[in-house]
Amino acid sequence: MSVHTTTGMEFFATICFFLAILHTFSVKKFQQLARRYAPGSVGENFLHLLGEVEVVFGFWGAIFLVLLALTHGTADAVRYLETRDFKEPAFVFVVLVICSTRPILSLAERTIGFTSQLFPIAPPLAFYLVCLILGPLMGSFITEPAAMTVTALILLDRFFSQRISTKLKYATLGLLFVNVSIGGTLTPYAAPPVLMVASKWGWGLGDMLTHFGWKAAIAIIASTVLTTYRFREEISKLTWIANEKNLPQVPLWVQTSHVFFLALVVMNTHHTAVFVGIFLFFLGWVKVTQEYQTEIKLREGLLVAFFLGGLVVLGGPQRWWLEPVLSRLDAFPLYLGSILLTAITDNAALTYLGAQVPTLSIAARYALVAGSVVGGGLTVIANAPNPVGYGILNVSFGKDGMSPWRLLTHAALPTGIAAFCFWIL
């Protein structure tokens, strides 16, 4: 019997899915349990592994596939795996690695630094403000995963690596996740939840700018200004660190070449074989220009791809309960429901399922997509680029790592501002 018509197996996949969500919110407990074992022991290493957010969905996805093979046979498990589309995890991996290179980061940092000089306030305040506005908005042009990578790495270097308060760290993390989630809505190709429906519903650049883009820009500016003002005393007192000491300045031609590779990858988002091939050439180019490089983040990229791959495996069988929920709600309840549902499932999966419901009105379509992007900063799993930001910034939260609960509470305010802008304006 095919897995696609086996309600019992879909129900089991849903159990694994929600256990993975519970596991995500319990990672700190696993880290604490790991410390009860001898350093370097199997018990400590295994519990530390289970305490990594990037591992959670891949781990439960593997359990699902093993049990699927045991109950339906290996052939059905392989067939199911082959029906999953792993294009997005592969794309996020490639973009993360390219954007984490020193030439891309130095170019982005110089752009933000130059823009921040236009503001007559303390340099750290101006840089913080511009970074969290301009960085996420760039996601509409270089894709959200790229914007998340660049912005998170700059924040890590300029702010998170310093002794800032834990409250400021979580406020910044929540703001970053929300801003990136809505910042990719100025164009129809950059935000995963928009990408899932744009071609099917005929949404072009004009539609996105008219119905989504300007509202996203207002929400991002309002939330960032409010957060900057709230922590103005702490941020303005930071010692501005001179970056890239003892490293040769990256020439413009090297930066331009990296932007060219990134542009080629973005233009071939839908063709895995093409952008992976471009990426392999890029790795060779990094070797050629290694004089201006630092270590590229292959491990971080693979962990994030593993996380998203687990979401792909477990997300598909959730259609049996998500689709009825989406099809029975009016526009405003659907908007609120999408914000809440996005917190426990990837927003791209949510809009994809909505696109399969032929009875959705124009108002309901807007409500579904708007709610999906607004709620995309509430949890690590809410938006595909979030694991990228988590993987980069988690190291600054100490040995127990980031708390999903504290992320949720600190992302609530910018989420509320975005919710107001997208529905009321």
pLDDT in tens, 340-395: 989 888 788 788 778 767 778 899 999 999 999 999 999 998 998 898 899 899 98
pLDDT band per the 50, 70, 90 thresholds, residue 4: very low
User: How high is the pLDDT of residue 240?
Assistant: 65
Structure tokens at 169: 């760290």
Span 184-209, average pLDDT: 88
- How far apart are the C-alpha atoms of 57 and 312, rounded to whole Å? 9
User: How high is the pLDDT of residue 209?
Assistant: 95
- With a cut of 80, say whether residue 400 has pLDDT above it: no
Specify whether the CB–CB gap between 380 and 390 falls below 8 A: yes
The pTM for the full model equals 0.84
**146 contacts: CB under 8 Å, gap ≥ 6:** 95, 98, 99, 138, 139, 262, 266
- How far apart are the C-alpha atoms of 388 and 96, rounded to whole Å? 7
pLDDT digits (tens, 9 = 90+) for 222-242: 999 999 999 999 999 988 655
- With a cut of 80, say whether residue 113 has pLDDT above it: yes
- With a cut of 80, say whether residue 339 has pLDDT above it: yes
pLDDT digits (tens, 9 = 90+) for 259-276: 999 999 988 988 999 999
User: How high is the pLDDT of residue 32?
Assistant: 86
| Radius of gyration of the chain from its Cα atoms, rounded to whole angstroms | 21
Mean pLDDT score of the chain: 89
Instruction: Check the CA dihedral 372-375-377-378 and report its sign.
Output: negative
User: How high is the pLDDT of residue 96?
Assistant: 83
- How far apart are the C-alpha atoms of 54 and 307, rounded to whole Å? 5
User: How high is the pLDDT of residue 19?
Assistant: 92
| Amino acid sitting at position 251 | P
pLDDT digits (tens, 9 = 90+) for 123-149: 999 999 999 999 999 999 888 988 999
Q: Name the residue among 139, 133, 128 with its Cα closest to residue 181.
A: 139
User: How high is the pLDDT of residue 143?
Assistant: 85
User: How high is the pLDDT of residue 159?
Assistant: 94
Span 271-298, average pLDDT: 94
User: How high is the pLDDT of residue 401?
Assistant: 80
Highest mean pLDDT range out of 48-52, 139-143, 217-221?
A: 217-221
- With a cut of 50, say whether residue 3 has pLDDT above it: no
